[in-house]
Amino acid sequence: MDNKHDILILGGGPGGLSTALHLVKINPHLTSRILILEKEHYPRFKLCAGGLVVDAEIILERLGLDVREVQHVDVDTAHFDFAGKGLSVRVAKKHALRVIRRDEFDAWLAKKAESRGIEIREGVTIKNVRPDLEGVTVETDCGNFRAQIIVGADGSNGITRKCILPNEPLQTARVLEIITPAGQASHKSNDAYFDFFPVPNNIAGYVWDFPTQVHGQPMRCWGIYDSNVLAGHKRPALKEPLAEEMAHHGLNLNDYEIKGHPIRWYEPQNQVSAPRVLLVGDAAGADPLFGEGISMALGYGAIAAREIAESFQRGEFSFRRYRQRLARSGLGQTLFMRWVITYIIYPIKWKWFQILLWRILKPVVLVVAWIFILNWSKRIK
Ligand SMILES: Cc1cc2nc3c(=O)[nH]c(=O)nc-3n(C[C@H](O)[C@H](O)[C@H](O)COP(=O)(O)OP(=O)(O)OC[C@H]3O[C@@H](n4cnc5c(N)ncnc54)[C@H](O)[C@@H]3O)c2cc1C
C-alpha cells in the first residue's frame, strides 16, 4: 500500500482544518506526517447560515488567523424574540455576530493550512474505515490509505462515526435554509433575528433571519432549526413556521430554493473516540440548543490536536482520555450546559414560559448566556 501516513484527517471542514492547524502549532515536526482527505474541491458548497460567534474568532486569532480577510457581514444587534418581541444583544464597540459564507470561509481556512505546509488531497471520498491493532485502513474511491491514527472530521452525515461506532444512538436536528435578496425584507439590515415562536407547536428551536452576502451582494439568510427534542409530539411541517415568518416580511417561501441538512448534536454519554480514531466537529456533536457548530468544530480541533500530540509522544493511541479531556474543557462545559438548557427551554413549550423567558427574564438569560454559552474558548487547553 503506497498511501501510508501517520495522521489522516477525514474531512476538510472547520473541524478537520482546525485539528491540522493546531497540530502544526503544537508540534511543527508533525506537519509532514498529516494528510487531509476531502471529497469536494474548494471552494465547495456547505449549507450553513455562517454565523460566527466571538469564540470562533478567538480560536482563529490564537492560530494567527484574521477572519476579516474573508468576505463577511457584521451584525450590530442579535434579537432573541418570541413572536417578534424579546431580548436584544449588542456588544459595545464590536459586532454581536459575524456572518461569513461557508464556501469562502472553508476555502480560506484550507489555504491557510496549505500555506503552513499541511497537505490536503481534494476529490477523495472515504468509503470505509477499518481500525486494527497496528493502524487504520481507510478505503476511498482513490484507493486505500493506511495511517497510525485517523480523525473523523466528516460532518453530521460522515462515514467515520458510522464505521467505528455503528450502534451509538444518534441525535440530529432538522434544519432548512433559504437565501433571499436583502432589499425585500423589512427587518433592520444589519441585525440578526432568532424567533422562538414555533416552540408551542412542538418545534424545539427557532426561525432565524441573518444579513449575509453572496459574491459581495447584500442578501438575507432565513432558516428554521428544530433540535427534534419534541419529535414525539404532533408538529407542523418544518417549512410552515418559516413560511409564516417570511410572509410577515412580505416574502413568499415558495419563490425561493429551500435546502435542508441535518445537524448531529452532542450528548454527554456519546462516545467520541475508539482506539486510533478521534471524532471532531459535527461527527462528535454540535450544539443542541442553537445548532451552532463552526466555533465548536474549531474548538474540537484544538482539543483533539493536544490529545494526538501527546499520544505520539507516548506512542500509545487508545485515546481513552479524549472524552474526559473534552468534558473538562470550556468546549465540553458549554456543550453540556447547552444540552441541559435544551431539555429545559424546549420541553417547557407553553407560550407563557417562552414569553417569560425571552421578554421578562432578560437579565437572567443574559447572565446565563454570558457564563454558560459564550466565552468558553478561553478555557480550552
Ligand atoms: C442550515 C444550517 C445552518 C447552520 N448555521 C450555522 C451557523 O450560523 N453558525 C454555526 O456556527 N453553525 C451553523 N451550522 C452548523 C455548522 O454548519 C456545522 O456545525 C459545521 O459545519 C461543522 O463543521 P465540521 O468540520 O464538523 O463538518 P463540515 O463542515 O460538515 O465538514 C465536513 C467535511 O467533510 C467532508 N466529507 C464528508 N464526507 C466525506 C467523505 N465520505 N469523504 C471525504 N470527505 C468527506 C465534507 O465535504 C466537508 O468538507 C449550520 C448547519 C446547517 C445545516
Residues 139-155 have pLDDT tens digits of 999 999 999 999 999 99
Would you state the pLDDT for residue 303? 98
Strand, helix or coil at 113? helix
pLDDT in tens, 155-193: 999 999 999 999 988 899 999 999 999 976 667 789 999
293 lines ligand 1 (CB under 6 A): yes
Indicate left, alpha or beta for 188 from its phi (over 0: left) and psi (-120 to 50: alpha). Answer: beta
Share of the chain above pLDDT 90, in %: 92
Q: Please name the fold of domain 3-70+99-168+264-346.
A: FAD/NAD(P)-binding domain (3.50.50)
Sign of CA dihedral 238, 241, 246, 252: positive
The angle at the Cα of 61, spanning 319 to 41, to the nearest 5 degrees, equals 70
pLDDT of residue 24: 98
Q: How many residues does the chain have?
A: 381
Per-residue pLDDT at 381: 66
- Which cell numbers in the block locate residue 315? 506512542
CA angle 313, 294, 101 (to 5 degrees): 130
DSSP string, 145-194: EEEEEEEE---TT-HHHHHH-TTS---EEEEEEEEEEGGG--S-TTEEEE
The amino acid that residue 153 corresponds to is A
Decide: 38 in ligand 1 pocket, CB within 6 A: yes
Distance (angstroms) between ligand 1 centre and the Cα of 300 equals 13
**Whether the Cβ atoms of residue 38 and residue 124 lie closer than 8 Å to each other:** yes
Question: Model confidence over 110-137: pLDDT tens digits?
Answer: 999 999 999 999 999 999 999 999 999 9
Whether the CB of 162 sits within 6 Å of ligand 1: no
Mean pLDDT over 213-221 rounds to 95
Q: Residue 56 pLDDT > 90, yes or no?
A: yes
Average model confidence (pLDDT) for the chain?
A: 95
Q: Residue 17: CB within 6 Å of ligand 1?
A: no
Mean pLDDT, residues 82-111 = 95
> Measured from the CA of 286, which atom of ligand 1 is nearest?
19
Whole-number pLDDT of residue 177:
98
The residue whose CB lies within 8 Å of the most ligand 1 atoms, and thus the one to mutate among 99, 265, 294, is: 294
CA 287 to chain CA mean position, Å:
7
Q: Which three cell numbers stand for residue 215?
A: 459574491
pLDDT of residue 42: 98
* C-alpha to C-alpha distance for 332 and 271, rounded to whole angstroms: 13
Question: How far apart are the C-alpha atoms of 327 and 275, rounded to whole Å?
Answer: 18
Q: pLDDT tens digits for 279-328?
A: 999 999 999 999 999 999 999 999 999 999 999 999 999 999 999 999 99
How far, in Å, is the centroid of ligand 1 from the Cα of 231? 23
Question: Any idea which residue has 487547553 for its cell?
Answer: 381
- Is 346 within 8 Å of 357 (Cβ atoms)? no
Residue 309: Cβ-neighbour burial (10 angstroms; 0-12, 13-18, 19+): middle
What is the per-residue pLDDT across 1-46, written as a single tens digit (0 to 9) for each? 557 889 999 999 999 999 999 999 999 999 999 999 999 999 999 9
DSSP codes, 232-291: TS----THHHHHHHHHHTT--GGGS--EE--EEB--TT---EETTEEE-GGGT-B-TTT-
CA-nearest of 277, 279, 270 to 300 is 279
Look up residue 38 and give its amino acid.
E
**Which of 70-74, 80-84, 235-239, 366-370 has the least mean pLDDT?**
366-370
Nearest CA to ligand 1 atom 21: 294
- 79 - beta bridge partners? 88, 193
The verdict on the CB of residue 20 being under 6 Å from ligand 1 is no
Average pLDDT over residues 201-205: 97
Cross-strand bridge partners of residue 72: 100
pLDDT of residue 183: 76
Nearest-angstrom CA–CA distance, 128 and 159: 7
C-alpha cell at 94: 464590536
pLDDT (0 to 100) of residue 1: 53
Identify the bridge partners of residue 265 per DSSP, sorted by sequence position: 286
CA–centroid distance, 46 to ligand 1, in Å, is 6
| Exposure b/e, 106-131, CB count within 10 A at least 16 = b | bbbbbebbeeeebebeeebebeebeb
Q: Is 103 helix (H, G, I), strand (E, B) or coil?
A: helix
φ and ψ of 34, to 5 deg:
-105, 140
Atom 39, ligand 1: residue with shortest CA distance: 154
